[in-house]
């Protein structure tokens, strides 16, 4: 199937219509279901919409996570090109895995809105913009990026949900869950403070029921045990591929019973098995009818754009090298047929949906080691106060400080350890529930803190504050600030505090640090030939590498 420039004309017409178009109804949750403003039950009938970024094939990158990304909602011509195809599929939602808040999204968002298409937006970005799976932390730079993205998207009427993470937590590394839950808590508090009703969500990797259910319950529980929604997500996404080929409805029986009593709305944030081709998409019949619709609120087919895993190719649309035309495959046509045949169930009615109960969090187990002690809210003001009064400051010569922070932290923690110190103050450990007072600061501040401790441990030997030219002695340390520890005490008066975050004053690019200025890592770029980009994998956008990984290696 081919699209030509006449689509651009159609797009222009759609844009012109916008002035007279009323806003898309807000979608909210009641009990464990989603409802539109008029009280009609709402189901997500969507598709993943993320063009492939560059993936570095590396044994340390088993999830084939991309090193960069393209923001499809900033690509006006791309949205115009794709809109007729999305409309022909009959989708009411797209999921976008990475957006760049420094770009303009007005045209894509308004034309999608006019076409009745909601967006589900992941707040994390590849690389330094995500909670790292193996060495998680929840820090000012991440929170700031999340809030900057929310601030850019909150003006649109068609943002259904923000994902605070995608597949960050895997079955053998569950302690990262506390960081993701803290991200949900702070994101939710920010949205509430701005009276934004967009749902806070998470998209989970599938696995054994033990793991999947424990994780789902943890993400929607109340750490305080008082039936409060403050630390619970609003919408649980499961990336589920278990219905394959011409399976029958029973393929979902286990999952259905596992979630039968789940307290909040759940949906399939990815679906579409490729191991038994052709993809018939007959699971949609099951998904959008009882008994499954009594438990789930729809799903997102994976994926519009090309996307590859070791299992094969998930994509349904191929974009020409010059970005102008779309060729769809048979999977696309079959999905279209199935999606167009869907009629949404209307039960239960909103008035009989009940209210949501937020239970106490499950106790940690061997299989699921997440405590109810969450990391504190990252504190921009405290961290920049600290950075300014430390005795030895990270003053990177590299234009992108985030590229060298990790290795320098390894080095500084190693040296500090040899001099009787430790990196405990900057470390966060969700298994013990111990969060060092500086653990919520961005990587650059953590590094300055560690460099200062080492410099002080060596009696302020100037050589100790050099790090190959990456550090400088601070001549403006206020009198009375004896050392790094005293600096932390004076700036971070309440290290464990949870509070409503405010918008950052610095709005650097994604991946930027709050005190070190914005970096350009993760900058989207849509001008290149899409076909040049190697495959992008829909699962697992969390980074594998991070500062803390180095820290813990050194200390171990």
Ligand X SMILES: *[C@@H]1O[C@H](CO)[C@@H](O)[C@H](O)[C@H]1NC(C)=O
Spatial separation of the C-alpha atoms in residues 375 and 499, rounded to whole Å: 12
Cβ closest to ligand X, residue 312 vs residue 469: 469
By CB under 6 A, is residue 517 in contact with ligand X?
A: no
By CB under 6 A, is residue 431 in contact with ligand X?
A: yes
By CB under 6 A, is residue 545 in contact with ligand X?
A: yes
Work out which of 22, 60, 195, 476 binds ligand X, going by CB under 6 A. Answer: 195
Cβ closest to ligand X, residue 22 vs residue 195: 195
Binding mask 322-361 for ligand X (x = CB under 6 A): ----------------------------------------
Cβ closest to ligand X, residue 474 vs residue 521: 521
By CB under 6 A, is residue 127 in contact with ligand X?
A: yes
Spatial separation of the C-alpha atoms in residues 405 and 413, rounded to whole Å: 12
Give all strands (DSSP E) within 347-452, no chain letters: 392-394, 428-429, 434-435
CB of 469 to ligand X, least distance (A): 3
Spatial separation of the C-alpha atoms in residues 367 and 334, rounded to whole Å: 39
By CB under 6 A, is residue 552 in contact with ligand X?
A: yes
Cβ closest to ligand X, residue 265 vs residue 524: 524
Q: Which of 270, 387, 411, 456 is catalytic?
A: 270
Binding mask 140-179 for ligand X (x = CB under 6 A): --------------------------------xx------
Write down how long the chain is: 556
Instruction: Considering only the stretches 200-208, 267-275, 295-303, 396-404, report the one whose residues sit in contact with ligand X under the rule CB under 6 A.
Output: 396-404
Total residues at the site for ligand X (CB under 6 A)?
Answer: 30
Cβ closest to ligand X, residue 131 vs residue 402: 402
454 within 8 A of 408, measured Cβ to Cβ: no
For residue 84, CA distances in Å to 4, 7, 51, 111, 316 come to 11, 7, 17, 11, 14
Cβ closest to ligand X, residue 397 vs residue 459: 397
Spatial CA neighbour of 301 closest among 291, 312, 287:
287
Cβ closest to ligand X, residue 502 vs residue 525: 525
**Token reading at 375:** 């990391």
Q: Are strands 471-473 and 428-429 parallel, antiparallel or unpaired?
A: unpaired
CB of 287 to ligand X, least distance (A): 29
Is 65 a residue of the active site? no
Work out which of 137, 231, 263, 546 binds ligand X, going by CB under 6 A. Answer: 546
Binding mask 398-417 for ligand X (x = CB under 6 A): x---xxxxxxx---------
Spatial separation of the C-alpha atoms in residues 323 and 526, rounded to whole Å: 9
By CB under 6 A, is residue 527 in contact with ligand X?
A: yes
Q: Which of 65, 167, 387, 456 is catalytic?
A: 167
In 3-state terms, what secondary structure has residue 429? strand
By CB under 6 A, is residue 547 in contact with ligand X?
A: yes
Spatial separation of the C-alpha atoms in residues 253 and 106, rounded to whole Å: 42
By CB under 6 A, is residue 445 in contact with ligand X?
A: no
By CB under 6 A, is residue 251 in contact with ligand X?
A: no
Is 387 a residue of the active site? no
String of b and e for 99-120 (b: at least 16 CB within 10 Å)? bbbbeebebbbbbbbbbebbbb
- CA angle (336 as vertex; 330, 339 as ends), nearest 5: 140
Spatial CA neighbour of 406 closest among 434, 398, 487:
398
String of b and e for 493-520 (b: at least 16 CB within 10 Å)? eebeebeebeebebbbbbbbbbbbebbe
Instruction: Considering only the stretches 117-125, 283-291, 302-310, 466-474, report the one whose residues sit in contact with ligand X under the rule CB under 6 A.
Output: 466-474
The binding site for ligand X (CB under 6 A) comprises 62, 127-128, 172-173, 195, 397-398, 402-408, 429, 431-432, 443, 468-470, 521, 525, 527-528, 545-547, 552
Catalytic residues: 167, 270
């Amino acid at each position: 199937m081919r699209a030509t420039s006449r689509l651009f004309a159609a797009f222009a017409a759609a844009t012109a219509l916008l002035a007279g178009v009323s806003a898309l109804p807000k979608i909210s949750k009641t009990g464990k279901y989603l409802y539109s403003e008029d009280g009609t039950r709402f189901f997500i009938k969507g598709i993943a919409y993320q063009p492939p970024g560059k993936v570095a094939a590396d044994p340390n990158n088993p999830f084939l996570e991309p090193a960069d990304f393209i923001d499809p909602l900033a690509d006006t011509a791309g949205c115009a090109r794709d809109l007729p195809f999305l409309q022909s599929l009959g989708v009411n939602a797209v999921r976008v895995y990475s957006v760049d808040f420094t770009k303009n999204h007005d045209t894509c968002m308004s034309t999608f809105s006019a076409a009745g298409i909601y967006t589900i937006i992941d707040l994390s970005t590849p690389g330094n913009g995500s909670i790292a799976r193996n060495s998680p932390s929840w820090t000012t730079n991440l929170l700031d990026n999340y809030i900057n993205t929310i601030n850019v998207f909150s003006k649109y009427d068609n943002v259904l949900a923000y994902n605070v993470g995608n597949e960050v937590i895997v079955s053998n590394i569950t302690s990262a869950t506390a960081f993701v839950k803290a991200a949900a808590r702070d994101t939710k508090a920010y949205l509430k403070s701005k009276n934004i009703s967009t749902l806070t969500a998470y998209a989970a990797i599938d696995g054994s029921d033990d793991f999947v259910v424990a994780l789902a319950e943890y993400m929607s529980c109340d750490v305080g045990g008082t039936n409060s929604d403050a630390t619970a997500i609003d919408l649980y996404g499961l990336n589920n591929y278990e219905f394959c080929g011409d399976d029958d409805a029973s393929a979902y029986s286990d999952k259905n019973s596992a979630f039968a009593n789940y307290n909040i709305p759940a949906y399939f944030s990815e679906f579409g098995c490729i191991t038994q081709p052709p993809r018939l998409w007959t699971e949609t019949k099951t998904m959008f009818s009882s008994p499954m619709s009594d438990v789930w609120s729809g799903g997102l087919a994976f994926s519009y754009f090309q996307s590859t895993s070791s299992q094969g190719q998930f994509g349904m649309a191929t974009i020409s090298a010059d970005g102008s035309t779309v060729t769809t495959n048979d999977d696309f046509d079959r999905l279209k047929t199935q999606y167009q045949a869907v009629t949404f169930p209307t039960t239960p009615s909103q008035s009989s949906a009940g209210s949501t109960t937020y239970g106490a969090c499950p106790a940690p187990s061997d299989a699921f080691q997440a405590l109810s002690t969450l990391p504190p809210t990252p504190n921009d003001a405290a961290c920049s106060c600290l950075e300014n009064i430390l005795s030895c400051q990270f003053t990177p010569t590299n234009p992108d400080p985030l590229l060298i922070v990790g290795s320098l932290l390894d080095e500084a923690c190693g040296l500090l350890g040899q001099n009787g110190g430790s990196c405990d103050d900057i470390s966060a450990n969700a298994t013990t529930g111990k969060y060092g007072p500086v653990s919520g600061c961005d990587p650059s501040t953590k590094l300055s803190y560690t460099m200062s401790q080492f410099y002080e441990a060596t009696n302020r030997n100037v050589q100790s504050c050099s790090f190959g030219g990456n550090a400088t002695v601070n001549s403006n340390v206020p009198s009375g600030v004896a050392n790094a520890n005293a600096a932390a005490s004076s700036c971070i008066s309440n290290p464990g505090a949870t509070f409503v975050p405010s918008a950052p004053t610095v709005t650097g690019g994604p991946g930027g640090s709050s005190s070190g200025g914005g970096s350009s890592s993760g900058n989207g770029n849509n001008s290149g030939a899409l076909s040049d980009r190697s495959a992008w994998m829909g699962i697992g956008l969390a980074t594998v590498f991070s500062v803390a990984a180095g820290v813990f290696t050194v200390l171990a």
